[in-house]
Amino acid sequence: MSTSVEQITGADRTGPGSGEVAAFRNVSKTFGTVKAVNDISLVLHPGETVAFLGPNGAGKSTSIDMLLGLREPTSGSVTLFGGTPRQAIVDGRVGVMLQSGGLMPDVKVRELVSFACGIHPRGRSVDDVLKSAGITDIADRKVDKLSGGQEQRVRFALAVAGDSDLIVLDEPTTGMDVTARQAFWSVMRAQADEGRTVLFATHYLEEADSIADRVLVVHKGRLIADGTAAEIKARAGLRKIAFDLHPDDGTPDLALLNNLPELSGLDISGHTVRIRSNDSDATVAAIYRAGFYPRGLEVTSVGLEQAFIAITGEQDAADESASLDKETAR
Amino acid sequence: MTTLIKLEIMRVLRNRRYLFFTVIYPVALYALMLTAYGKTSDLSGVSVKAYFMVSMATLGTVGAALTGNAQRISLERKSGWTRQLRLTALPSWGYVVAKIAAVAAATLPAILAVFLFGFLEGVKLSAVEWIALGLTLWVGGFVFAALGVAIGYAAGPDSVQPIVMICYMGMVLLGGTWFPLSGSFGDFAKWTPVAIYNQLGRIAQAGASVDMKQLVAAAAYLAVFVGLAAWLYQRDRKEA
């Protein structure tokens, strides 16, 4: 590929460190007639904690498979630490926790973990790994006699069995209860604090919101957003404005509310007004100009979840009009 | 790599089903056969005791090679363990090598158990003949280990068991393991894999000179099964 890195990084973030951990350059993957991944370009930088968001079937798992060299892209190139994914794995620079990573049955947890530590070119001590994954107490249990949550922790132990620079987690907390999930992320944060790059796929938006310092959104095989959670929410543009109108403050014409600028939603129940706005500053200023006296005014951003729905919805609408254009062109 | 081989061997030896199918079952059948053929003095020119010592030893090794590996590889492909292994520094062929090593380790006790029973029953061989026979049977087991790998990569967990059973029963029957096959059917059957395996065992047992045709046939089966296993393995990796 002749395209330069600068051109591709798009948002031009260098993140906590500069350099390149992983790079997708115009990567596409087709299965028959289905385009699972459509021209994705992105660069991961050292020390970033990146959430990979998207609905089921968006192309997350296919992208992760290509990142790890389990699948070859149909076109474009994938590099890890400047080389092939396989080379990075052989060099012990990548630790992986797969969504459906099976475990070897008939062996004890400790035996499996010591195998993983032994095979890793930069393996950590078995006891350390058991401890950081919180499985010291089940080290002598057979792998096939574990509960779902315990199995998930053993899988995590395999991902951190060595001193890897990049940790990739595909839906790591699926099937965990809330406490287990919190415990998991606190361990994961410790890994990130040691300067490792962490990439995790999830469909729990609150995880992306609270843990990641960069969020990638894929939808229908395309990368449709790349930025901090705040940037993505801002891009969705929506803010919620809520206030009360007190009868003592006079009764201006409620119909005026309909004429507020940048309005994308209005709900009046009793004295309470709830507004969704694409530009909260303009809307709030207009509320005062119209002679309203709002009490207890609150401006809040929508959650990442609503932002997510908003931007994937935009994308769908754009796709639809594009295909309509095609129809009319015929 | 060696850790994986050790783990795989440990798994096999810990498995009770393995113990039953490859160690206890052939020895028990051996005892049963001797009772059944009690009055017959020889089969195909060798004593009944010696005939079935080879038959039951090959039964054990073929069983170990097919049931163990085929099923496990199939299940571990499905569960994602093979994918997980591909994300370690382990060489790509490491998994298959460890599986075959585990079979090789598993077949030894099976052979030795049958030998011990035969010896106690009065089978008389010189030390060289015992060793030659043991080695022939052990090395021959690799042919079936390769077939086990091929089946493991060809079949899903739901269908692997019947496929293994059909291959196992069919080959063992045609191989003359239960009784010598004769006539034109016997002429065909004697070129099936287990039949060749049994014949090579008998040649080693009798200390006779090796028949090239059978050796070539055994090598051909090994080449075909290894080729099949390699091809199916590559296909599996492409599907990720």
Chain A residues in contact with B76 (beta carbon < 8 A): 102, 104
**Complex prediction ipTM:** 0.82
Query: Are A119 and A162 in contact, with CB atoms under 8 Å apart?
Result: no
Chain B residues in contact with A121 (beta carbon < 8 A): 89
Instruction: Give the pLDDT band (50/70/90) at residue B204.
Output: confident
Query: Are A16 and A47 in contact, with CB atoms under 8 Å apart?
Result: yes
Q: How far apart are CA A45 and CA A23, in angstroms?
A: 9
Q: How far apart are CA A156 and CA A126, in angstroms?
A: 13
- Cα B201 from chain centroid? 12
Take residue A181 and report the two structure tokens written for it: 């999930």
Residue ranges of chain A whose CB lies within 8 Å of a chain B CB: 65, 68, 70-71, 89-92, 94, 96, 98, 100-107, 111-112, 114-116, 118-121, 158
Q: With an 8 Å Cβ cutoff, are B84 and A101 in contact?
A: yes
Q: With an 8 Å Cβ cutoff, are B88 and A94 in contact?
A: no
Query: pLDDT tens across A101-116, in order?
Result: 688 888 999 999 999 9
* Closest C-alpha among A220, A234, A230 to residue A281: A234
For A158, residues 6+ apart whose C-beta sits below 8 A from its C-beta are: A95, A96, A97, A101, A112, A113, A116, B84
- Cα A163 from chain centroid? 24
| Mean pLDDT calculated for residue range B79-94 | 88
The three-class DSSP label of residue A47 is: coil
Chain B residues in contact with A102 (beta carbon < 8 A): 76, 78-84
Chain A residues in contact with B83 (beta carbon < 8 A): 70, 98, 101-102
Neighbouring C-beta atoms of residue B77, cutoff 10 Å: 19
Q: How far apart are CA A62 and CA A255, in angstroms?
A: 51
Neighbouring C-beta atoms of residue B156, cutoff 10 Å: 11
Length of chain A: 330
| Mean pLDDT calculated for residue range B20-39 | 84
Instruction: Give the pLDDT band (50/70/90) at residue A11.
Output: very low
Residue reference for tokens 């993983």: A116
DSSP H helices in A224-277: 229-236
Radius of gyration (C-alpha) of chain A in whole angstroms: 24
Query: Are B27 and B114 in contact, with CB atoms under 8 Å apart?
Result: yes
Instruction: Give the pLDDT band (50/70/90) at residue A126.
Output: very high
Q: Residue A8's pLDDT is what?
A: 34
Query: Are B52 and B138 in contact, with CB atoms under 8 Å apart?
Result: no
Neighbouring C-beta atoms of residue A275, cutoff 10 Å: 23
Instruction: Tell me whether strands B42-43 and B46-47 are parallel, antiparallel or unpaired.
Output: antiparallel
Neighbouring C-beta atoms of residue A18, cutoff 10 Å: 10
Q: How far apart are CA B137 and CA B104, in angstroms?
A: 11
Q: Residue A15's pLDDT is what?
A: 40
Chain A residue with CA closest to B84: the answer is A101
Chain A residue with CA closest to B14: the answer is A106
Instruction: Give the pLDDT band (50/70/90) at residue A130.
Output: very high
Q: How far apart are CA A236 and CA A229, in angstroms?
A: 11
- Residue B240 to chain A, least CA–CA distance (Å): 6
Chain B residue with CA closest to A167: the answer is B87
- Cα B137 from chain centroid? 8
Q: With an 8 Å Cβ cutoff, are B89 and A100 in contact?
A: no
Q: Residue A67's pLDDT is what?
A: 95
* Closest C-alpha among A255, A257, A261, A264 to residue A243: A257
Chain B residues in contact with A71 (beta carbon < 8 A): 240
| Mean pLDDT calculated for residue range A122-136 | 92
Neighbouring C-beta atoms of residue B127, cutoff 10 Å: 7
Q: Using CB atoms, which residue from B3, B78, B80 is nearest to A115?
A: B3
Query: Are B138 and B57 in contact, with CB atoms under 8 Å apart?
Result: no
| Mean pLDDT calculated for residue range A24-43 | 93
Q: How far apart are CA A44 and CA A79, in angstroms?
A: 10
**Does B16 reach chain A within 8 Å, measured CB to CB?**
no
Residue A244 DSSP code: E
- Residue B78 to chain A, least CA–CA distance (Å): 8
Q: Residue A13's pLDDT is what?
A: 36
Query: pLDDT tens across A189-211, in order?
Result: 888 888 899 999 987 778 888 88
Take residue A103 and report the two structure tokens written for it: 């475990």
| Mean pLDDT calculated for residue range B84-110 | 87
Question: CA torsion, points B176, B181, B187, B189, in degrees to nearest 10?
Answer: -40
Q: How far apart are CA A41 and CA A66, in angstroms?
A: 13
Length of chain B: 240
| Mean pLDDT calculated for residue range B207-219 | 81
Q: Using CB atoms, which residue from A103, A107, A119 is nearest to B88?
A: A119
Take residue A43 and report the two structure tokens written for it: 């660069």
Q: With an 8 Å Cβ cutoff, are A96 and B84 in contact?
A: yes
Q: Using CB atoms, which residue from A65, A90, A101 is nearest to B89?
A: A90
Q: Residue B39's pLDDT is what?
A: 67
What percentage of residues in chain B have a pLDDT greater than 70?
96
Q: Residue A247's pLDDT is what?
A: 77
* Closest C-alpha among B171, B154, B174, B144 to residue B67: B144
Best residue in B16, B71, B88, B234 to probe A by mutation, most A CBs within 10 Å? B88
Q: With an 8 Å Cβ cutoff, are B84 and A102 in contact?
A: yes
Give whole-number Cα distances, A110 to A79, A180, B190, in Å.
Answer: 33, 21, 48
Query: Which positions 55-114 of B are in contact with A (Cβ < 8 Å)?
Result: 76, 78-84, 86-90
What percentage of residues in chain B have a pLDDT greater than 90?
22
Q: What backbone torsions phi and psi does residue A35 show, to the nearest 5 degrees?
A: -95, 95
Query: pLDDT tens across B179-199, in order?
Result: 888 788 888 888 899 988 888
Q: How far apart are CA B42 and CA B96, in angstroms?
A: 41
Q: How far apart are CA B3 and CA B111, in angstroms?
A: 25
Three-state SS string over A274-294 comes to: EEEECCHHHHHHHHHHCCCCC
Residue A16 DSSP code: S
Query: Are A84 and A67 in contact, with CB atoms under 8 Å apart?
Result: no
The pTM of the full predicted model, rounded to 2 decimals, is: 0.78
Take residue A227 and report the two structure tokens written for it: 């930025």
What percentage of residues in chain A have a pLDDT greater than 90?
38
Residue reference for tokens 């010591």: A114
- Cα A297 from chain centroid? 32
Q: With an 8 Å Cβ cutoff, are B84 and A98 in contact?
A: yes
Q: Which residues are paired to A44 by β-bridges?
A: A22
Chain B residues in contact with A120 (beta carbon < 8 A): 88-89
Query: Which positions 191-230 of B are in contact with A (Cβ < 8 Å)?
Result: none
Neighbouring C-beta atoms of residue B39, cutoff 10 Å: 6
Q: With an 8 Å Cβ cutoff, are A115 and B11 in contact?
A: no
Q: Residue A169's pLDDT is what?
A: 92
